[in-house]
Amino acid sequence: MPDALLAAPARDAGIAFVAATTTDLVAEIQRRHDLWPTASAAVGRLTTGAVLFGASLKGNERISLQIAGSGPLRTLAADAWLLEPETIGARGYAHNPQTDLPVDARGKFDVAGAVGSGSLQVTRSSDVGQPYVGVVPLRSGEIGEDLALYLAQSEQIPSVVALGVLANPRGIAAAGGLFARVLPGTDERTVMELEKRAGALPPVTSSIAEGASAYDLLLQLAGDWALGPIHRRNVRFACRCSREKVEAILLGLGADELLALTRRPDGTEAICEYCKQRYAFTPGEVEALRARL
């Protein structure tokens, strides 16, 4: 079943529900970065969070999530944007992809231990205007709870965020997430009902591993709340890098640095930290760039 993102409002209450399956997306990231299990769980959760937050993206808008932590993963980043009106692209990485910690007392990945303490930054941007940036300290390091805390503190939106990645030695078995946010003007009782509902849900990954689709997850999340119109988007791995962007970075090094690079007999290589794509430049190609300055 391909990854999907479904969003729908509650028909008779001020809540917006979002559910996503991201198994293929997280598996692709795991393969590209050779993420070890705890790192897979952390990067997979953050990237799934970017996809869920991306449910409201329009046009050229992008959402970027960054964690700077004291744990062995150090920094984590993920972003999501629209590849086409009905397809969301996402990518993610960790500074230390080969991070793996023993599972905790409940047999769960110690994502909080791998992330440590630090901060979460959320950036909403588009091709025009200033980006909107919010930063909150990490509360749990489990990522889902931290994203909900961000929405509460920075955007005054009560929400529930549940993220899950099930990794095994062969790769990613299941990944996905749920997100419900309370719309402005909704009463406190609805917020409490939503929190109660979220607390009673089975783990997202158990449902996906048992074959649940994004639609099944959305129905699970909504429970007794009837849904309004459902908006569906495809989800897939993508990157924003290109040879032109790498050339611009090389040009930014300046003439002296480029001259030094032309003297490297094997040429110059740049690797995108998000997708691991290699961009190779022969000494002659670097010289041609230098000539543009």
Residue 249 CB, nearest approach to Zn ion (Å)? 12
Complex with Zn ion: residue 227 or 241, whichever CB lies closer: 241
Complex with Zn ion: residue 25 or 166, whichever CB lies closer: 25
Q: In terms of C-beta density within 10 A (0-12 exposed, 13-18 middle, 19 or more buried), how is residue 154 classed?
A: middle
What are φ and ψ of residue 56, in 5° steps?
-100, 10
Complex with Zn ion: residue 91 or 197, whichever CB lies closer: 91
Dist. CA 259–CA 282, nearest whole Å: 13
Angle between helices 243-252 and 255-262 (to 10 degrees): 110
DSSP 70: S
**Residues interacting with Zn ion, by CB under 5 A?**
239, 241, 272, 274-275, 277
Cβ neighbour number for residue 103 with a 10 Å cutoff: 13
Residue 176 CB, nearest approach to Zn ion (Å)? 24
Complex with Zn ion: residue 216 or 273, whichever CB lies closer: 273
Complex with Zn ion: residue 15 or 65, whichever CB lies closer: 65
Dist. CA 125–CA 240, nearest whole Å: 14
Residue 247 CB, nearest approach to Zn ion (Å)? 14
Residue 240 CB, nearest approach to Zn ion (Å)? 7
- Candidates 183, 196, 214; CA nearest to 11 is 183
Cβ neighbour number for residue 68 with a 10 Å cutoff: 18
